[in-house]
């Protein structure tokens, strides 16, 4: 947790600390994560079905969450099941440490849950006001193995 993890194409890196990576946490009912953001990086909208998260900003670059600017040393609480995201809107890298009140908080990313699922294209078209072509494009983006018909 001393250094950033491997950055994805999106400029986001996370290092989870849970019983699988740190066995001393087994049965303690807690886990942690280090999240690093290059300028412009985003942790997509997601929620944790089994835990509340407390995010502590270690290095800031004027991140906004719920239209609130979080600065170094501040925290934000995300209750279990609440959809949330983080984005670095600044010009320098940002780091957040998150802690969870579960050793297995889970994480469900909304784009993957919607467009990487088997939800019928016509329902998605109506729900999001997108064309059939746009739905196919979104499915391929969030589930490259998807075989979908326009």
pTM: 0.80
Q: How does pLDDT run across 85-112, given as a tens digit for each residue?
A: 888 888 889 999 999 999 999 999 998 8
Q: 84 a known binding residue? A: yes
Domain 12-106 classified CATH 2.40.50.140?
no
Q: 53 a known binding residue? A: yes
pLDDT of residue 64: 43
The conformational region for residue 105 under phi > 0 = left, psi -120 to 50 = alpha, else beta, is: alpha
Residues in the chain: 150
Domain layout of the chain by residue ranges: 12-106, 110-142
Residue 38 near residue 88, CB atoms below 8 Å = yes
Residue 15 near residue 3, CB atoms below 8 Å = no
Q: 56 a known binding residue? A: no
CA distance 121 to 127: 10
Q: 43 a known binding residue? A: yes
CA distance 21 to 9: 24
pLDDT top residue among 146 and 2:
2
């Amino acid at each position: 947790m001393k250094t950033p993890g491997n950055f994805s194409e999106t400029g986001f890196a996370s290092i989870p600390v849970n019983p699988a990576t740190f066995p001393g946490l087994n049965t303690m009912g807690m886990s942690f994560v280090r999240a690093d953001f290059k300028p412009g990086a985003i942790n997509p909208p997601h929620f944790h079905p089994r835990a509340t998260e407390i995010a502590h900003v270690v290095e800031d670059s004027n991140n906004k969450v719920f239209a609130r600017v979080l600065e170094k040393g501040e925290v934000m609480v995300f209750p279990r099941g609440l959809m949330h995201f983080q984005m670095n809107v600044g010009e320098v890298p940002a780091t957040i440490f998150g802690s969870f009140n579960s050793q297995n908080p889970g994480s469900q990313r909304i784009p993957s849950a919607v467009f990487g699922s088997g939800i019928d294209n016509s329902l998605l078209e109506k729900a999001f006001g997108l064309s059939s072509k746009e739905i196919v494009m979104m499915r391929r983006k969030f589930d490259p193995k998807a075989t979908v018909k326009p």
